Amino acid sequence: EIASCLVGSEMCIETDPYGIGLPKGSDGVAFVNAFLKKLEADGTWAKLWTVSIGQRTGSTDVPTPPSIP
């Protein structure tokens, strides 16, 4: 079994590892990180979590998103 964890985070996915892979040193890293930070700041991350996970599990507590470097 493979466990995938975000570096510096306690968020681990035991059965369905996923991530965003970019070449080391790619300028795409800054773009993706900025985009993810924007989604968190404008509330999109919480809305997406609520629709994709919260409503399906009955959970109303949106967790703190993983930290983005």
Residue 13: beta bridge partners?
4
pLDDT at 2: 44
Cβ proximity of 68 and 8 under 8 Å: no
pLDDT at 43: 94
Instruction: Check pLDDT > 50 for residue 56.
Output: yes
pLDDT at 5: 56
| Coil, strand or helix at 68 | coil
Q: Tokens standing for 16?
A: 């369905």
For residue 49, count CB atoms less than 10 angstroms from its CB and return exposed for 0-12, middle for 13-18, buried for 19 or more. middle
- Separation CA 59–CA 48 (nearest Å): 13
pLDDT in tens, 3-54: 455 555 555 555 555 678 888 889 898 999 899 999 999 999 999 999 988 8
pLDDT band at 1 (very low <50, low <70, confident <90, very high): very low
pTM summary value: 0.63
